[in-house]
Structure 1
Amino acid sequence: MIYIYEESCRHVVCIVYTSNCDLRKLNLRFQTLKKMWAELCVFLLLVPNASGFGLQGTANMSEPPQKPEWSAQKVVDGNTDQETLTTCAIMDYSKAYKSVWWKVRLEKRFNVAYLEVYFRGSTSTRASGYYFYSYDSTEVFNPNSPDPNNLIYHHDPNSGCPTSIKNITVNRLAQEIVFINKRLTNYSSSCAGDDLTKTTVEICEVKVMGCNEDRYSSNRCDNRCNTKCKNRHCDAFNGSCIYGCADSNALTIDCIVCPDGQYISNKQCVPCPGHCVDGAPCDKLTGRCNNGCSNYWTGEYCETCLSGYYGNDCNTQCGKCAGNEMCDVNSGDCTGGCRGNWQVPKCNECKDRFYGYTGDCAGNCGHCKDNSICNKETGYCPGGCDSNFLGPLCQVCKPGFYDSTTSCLRRCGHCKNNATCDNASGHCTYGCEQHFEAPYCQVCEDGYYGEHCKTSCGNCSHMEVCDKQNGTCYHGCINHFKEPKCDVCEDGFFNRTCSALCGKCVNNEACDKETGECRNGCQLNFKPPLCHECQDGFYGITCNVTCGNCKNGQPCDKDTGECMNGCDSYVKPPLCKEIINSTFQEERRTDDDTPFNWSYVVIGILGILLTIAVAYIVYLKRQRPAVQHDKQKTSTQNYDNLTALKENHQYETMNSETNESHYQELPETV
């Protein structure tokens, strides 16, 4: 809720905290505040913010809180307790975030003076390196690329640990305040306890202090910005027109406009003091004659006669006499000699190898070709310059070279957009071509190498930088990358991180180091293109074992050989290679639900048959003379030939191998 109090403290905005919508309680609080303000005249706008639709805005953050009660709204609830966790917005530090943000968007634009930030006291070192940004109503916060023009504060992590309470000057029109912290690859810190690899949000309160957008004051918001200010926006502390003036002709932040012939002095318009050329008006900001003085007048404001001139209206110039003496009024000779590098007697010509009639011949001739003498008035070298110097003065280097103290022998680096470097320092003013290191742009940035710095370093161990000329990693590679450049996998490994093992390529060849494919095929019974698993119908570490008779011709498990969906009816699981007796297979099929062990039945029957056979043999021995012929006949007619039964078994042997598969090979997904 917002009240505008307009009695003894006019236009001061008060934010009244309410825990519910009880208007009677709210009115009582407002009456109490009116009495207090009548005496104290509270001065600044306190803009608390809450998550959702809060009192003055909406607060949220990039990641969820560690607990629901540690949400973004806690930063703007007015409670500055720095140790009670339920009063702070806290993310889960164990998540190892690389980049986080918290922001509050106010309901409208304010003239924000400063922020009061209260970090969690016991863990404030984790905030090292943080940034604060402010955004106007029409500006949009981009978490991936915040505009540096919106930056209001950055804590330098190499300057020590941040304080747990921080006042940050804003002095901007703003509707949104943003906190950001990042842990980039090259992040460094001198703060003990700061983690270089992860960051978080642990903020207990952010107070946004300021006035309505058209007001200011260092102690209360009862001053309106001057109407001379553009859009009536001004400095939050002193009211100066820092955003420009309503009158485009105004030249100062006080927005004073003077007529021609006057200039601003001590915030007032006063007459120009000197004599400008052609009667032109002086500069309205400085009072000086920007285009020079009239008729050899001189001085800062063209208010005195130029020393060294003689004749009517000071229009005849003396030579450069020593000691600033006047020349002879008749001959123009300097009786006491010349000053500087002028040539006697008239002191109106420079000595050899000097030039500059308007500067006491103070100019040294440049690097003229064949050591010739330059023009004494202009300094030009009539015969041209020495190599790599720029004419006509031959004092600075040609584009593409720098450092005249070394005869312009140094070449510029790789400046951005083929620009030339500064011909004195060699710095590339507008930056470097991509991946070259500023300011000289002559060597690669860390992480790149080659003549044009277009090749990224490989995966050097310990994140070390490779040689910027040839890309060599002098202290070795990350595991499984190949020296010396560490930019491809060692034989036997593949993928971007070289963490995957090659399969069983034919002749133990190395696989493709990007895809893992075996270009010339697999070892026997391995499945292309990766050759990591057996072809259908084979299993085992070397895929040299043939699968059994799995149900419906399905392939077995390629590691264990087991038929996961069961066997054909005449073989035993799980490998489906051992043949089951056909006599009892049908009985077992008809009584699947009976938990009976048929092996005991078979053993029992065989025992009975054996007993009968033994008894019969004893009987035959006793009756051999009489019934020899009949015994043979009876034996043939009454019993099965067990040997013949075994040899004429209807099932195929499980040890036979077949190279023909009943399944098509399905493409593998890597």
Structure 2
Amino acid sequence: MCREDASLFCLLGFLPFLSTVLAYENLALNKSAWQQFPYPNRPWGAEKAVDGLKSALGAFGGQCVISGNYKSTAEWRVDLGEVLSIHYIFIQHRTENVAWDENNYYTARFLGFSVYVSNSTRKEDGVLCFRDSNYTRATIPNPTNITCVTHGRYVIYYNNRTSPPYPAGYDSYAFNDICELEVYGCPTPGYYGEDCSLPCPQKCQEGRCNIVDGTCLGCIPGYTGPACDKECADNRFGFECNSTCGKCLNGEQCNHVNGSCPNGCDEGVFGDKCDKECPVGLFGYNCRENCSMNCGVPGKCDRVTGECRGGCQPGWRDLQCKIKCKAGEFGQNCTESCGNCVQNEACHHVNGSCLNGCDAGYEGTNCTQECPVGLFGYNCRENCSMNCGVPGKCDRVTGECRGGCQSGWRDLQCKIKCKAGEFGQNCTESCGNCVQNEACHHVNGSCLNGCDAGYEGTNCTQECPVGLFGYNCRENCSMNCGVPGKCDRVTGECRGGCQPGWRDLQCKIKCKAGEFGQNCTESCGNCVQNEACHHVNGSCLNGCDAGYEGTNCTQECPVGLFGYNCRENCSMNCGVPGKCDRVTGECRGGCQSGWRDLQCVQ
């Protein structure tokens, strides 16, 4: 058994138990049920175990759930609909209406079974109410009552045959053949007692209590006692009063629920519960003050007074090292004087650096060094342009290039590109025919996105050669032009029209269906099923319609022939032998003696 207060009873010999539990309701009756392996194509579903019927204990009585054969596990469960208080569980196994003893075939199926109560559909999440480890075929009781004083939503019946060898008498496979499983307890959460009329104590955890005596199964935080009616005391708080209060201001009792100190913490501690010493860098009441980062050891001070240990760092003074050196002074003990800062500003009180930088042409911590070659301006932070006549060389104060600019650049510092449409040395050259009249590259004049229609080359100054047209001359003139491969270099329009079978300005579109030839002016003949003829020569690709022949299907069938492509012969049994309708083959003038049908072939 899984619980100290759980016990197993047979129906026989439990009259004292029965008188106690008769008042409880069957919580499982007609509730939703499920089984792992239903028996296929039989009316033995999971719901049979909670239908309230258990007078017929065999397969064909229609009152039992029966699981599938040859399975290594068997699981059945009922959903009570919500978490309810349970007292005991009644199980009636299948007997096939045969005496229940060691000779009953079905006793072997149920040996080793378990019963769980869970708040989820997983038995592993719940409470193990019972697991058979001792029964034999001769001793397993049926029906069975299992006392399991607990709370839960799902009652799960489980058996397995997954770890052979099995004890003597065990069936080789697992089953959950149950004729009825009843779960007795209180139908309304938060109540207990024989008639479920007594409300659980108010401070019970989740409002749940023992279904028999009403003792809380646990208290909400801050309370203790069987009825959870006593607040935590003696410097204790929280769940089951297991936590100790921290160091509250003036030794006050902390909150019995969450351990917080109502009036804050004493000096040197912090947190809602005042149970943490000030970390390095903090001091005072509730550790709300920061040790000065200017202490000899930055951020380290007495956690009560905040006094720096080991004096102050350079640039600071006072016990807590929170006051700067006077203007014009810096360094250890504030004994050093500032250098030459921009606009004669005061330097930094710690290291003497100029807070807003140096004058143009100077750099260094104290602004005493001239800019090196390639740099200029305030603090020497700007780079001379690589577009200078001598790349990277300029005046250290103004940045003006010496020797002018390189190709594609202009202005004193050579940092501005040539205007749109210009490129080269001194920006004196003009761009070629770039696509959509875009500006060319300011240095070499190349068109970044290619050439406009009709032009090619690096700078888009070359007209397309014969046979090519369009942007960057990338398109080929159509071979269907009147002069194959010759067209307008901009639009691709064919000069001299199109060859037979083609149309449109670029001669890339075939004649419409039903047309062919030069300028698509000729009409197709009688092609089969009214198909379009070949767009160039008018030939019917799949042959002629009935009654016609010839390359273009324009010739009627000669006398004696009929049908598609005139391939069939008129019957010699016609009234006039070999003479018939050129389309249908119907004999004109009827048939000769002895023959019938329209074509006189029967």
Structure with greater helix percent: 1
When the two structures are superposed, what TM-score results if normalisation uses the length of structure 2?
A: 0.31
When the two structures are superposed, what TM-score results if normalisation uses the length of structure 1?
A: 0.28
Query: If you compute each CA radius of gyration, which structure gives the higher value, 1 or 2?
Result: 2
